[in-house]
Amino acid sequence: MKKLFGVIGDPIAHSMSPAMHNDAFVQLGIEGYYHPFHVKPEDLPAAVQGMKAIGVQGFNVTIPHKSAIIPLLDQVDPLAKAIGAVNTVVRENGGWTGYNTDGVGFVRGLREAYGEPLTEKRVLLIGAGGAARAIYYTLASEGVSRIDIANRTAEKAANLAESCPYPVVGSVKTTTKAAEQLEEYDVIIQTTSIGMSPLIEASPISVEKIKAGTFVSDIIYNPLETQLLQEAKKRGARTQNGLKMFVYQGALAFEKWTSQTPDIERMEEMVRHQLG
């Protein structure tokens, strides 16, 4: 009998995770099946319990359940607890353990594409929402301790930095201020939804002052090249879109469930195919 996995969210119809995971099961000869489950917020506790009762082995969690699920789990990994969001749930000793692979997935993709150690670099994170928190805390937990945050509302960025349990030296500023000082940064990480389809003609920050060779990573993958990445590229920046983050967060979840490593390039191909 196939082992059952899935993703819970609201909405969930357009999730690209099922195609990516089901293909990986086939490739590795694993008897597994991954299904998208539409779970409304009021049904979350029943869904989490029900999945345990029917023998689901593990699942992903997406909008709007990433924080709400935490009190419903049996154990939560310390990094996920600090971030306050879980995107991957694994059945361990009969109970549910929650992890966050979004931040780790992003940082793995960033390190791979950037190619140099991040420790001595000047890093700017744009945004202060859930995705920013996962990335900032993961970088900090991995010893990248010089990170500035730019956000429309600087206060929200200050709250994010203050509640980080890992040491970071950095300042917090408005996005406008950060734009004026952009030449100071080696790595710029964009975590807001600005520039995402369908509102693609928007950018969260002006890149007039960016220096050539700066590495810009945008977590958006639809479109594959945001207006920010296009403008940064024109000024000689190196760029990366959010595909790798999406693929790596999935691959890390897959590894936790099966103890096997999927083919990353093939996973990325599956997602590109879905994006059309």
Summarize the annotated binding site for shikimate as residue ranges. Answer: 15-17, 62, 87, 102, 221, 249
Q: In terms of Cα–Cα distance, which of 110, 57, 132, 109 is closest to 88?
A: 57
Q: Where are the alpha helices (DSSP H) in 198-263?
A: 227-234, 243-258
Residue among 52, 66, 211, 234 flagged as catalytic: 66
Close Cβ partners of 228 (under 8 Å, ≥ 6 residues apart): 190, 195, 203, 204, 205, 207, 216, 218
**Cβ-contact 38, 11 below 8 angstroms:** yes
Contact window for ligand ATR (CB under 6 A) among 29-37, 179-187, 191-199, 260-268: 191-199
Nearer to ligand ATR, 18 or 127 (CB): 127
Among 129, 143, 165, 213, binds ligand ATR (CB under 6 A): 129
- Is there binding between residue 207 and ligand ATR (CB under 6 A)? no
d(CA 85, CA 75): 13
Residue among 187 and 194 whose Cβ is closer to ligand ATR: 194
The residue from 190, 192, 214, 226 that contacts ligand ATR (CB under 6 A) is 192
Tell me the binding residues for NADP(+). Answer: 127-131, 151-156, 219, 242
Residue whose structure tokens are 């109970």: 95
Closer to ligand ATR by Cβ: residue 195 or 262: 195
User: Tokens 């699942």, residue?
Assistant: 59
Minimum Å gap between C-beta 199 and ligand ATR is 9
Nearest distance from C-beta of residue 6 to ligand ATR, angstroms: 21
Beta bridge mates, 89: 59, 98
Identify which range of 35-43, 69-77, 123-131, 255-263 contacts ligand ATR by CB under 6 A: 123-131
Which is nearer to ligand ATR, 132 or 147 (by Cβ)? 132
- Report residue 9 as tokens: 């969210």
CA distance 206 to 223: 19
149 near ligand ATR, rule: CB under 6 A: no
Rounded Cα gap, residues 120 and 246, in angstroms: 26
Which residues, numbered 3-62, are part of the site for ligand ATR (CB under 6 A)? none
Stretch that binds ligand ATR, among 127-135, 177-185, 240-248, 256-264 (CB under 6 A): 127-135
d(CA 240, CA 220): 10
Q: Which of 150, 214, 157 has the alpha carbon at shortest distance from 177?
A: 150
Question: Shortest approach of ligand ATR to residue 55 CB, angstroms?
Answer: 31
Does the annotation mark 173 as catalytic?
no
Q: Using the rule CB under 6 A, which residue among 153, 163, 176, 261 binds ligand ATR?
A: 153
Distance CA 73, CA 99 (A): 10
For residues 140 and 164, the answer to whether their CB atoms sit within 8 Å is yes
Catalytic residue IDs: 66
The residue ranges that bind ligand ATR (CB under 6 A) are 127-132, 151-153, 156, 191-194, 204
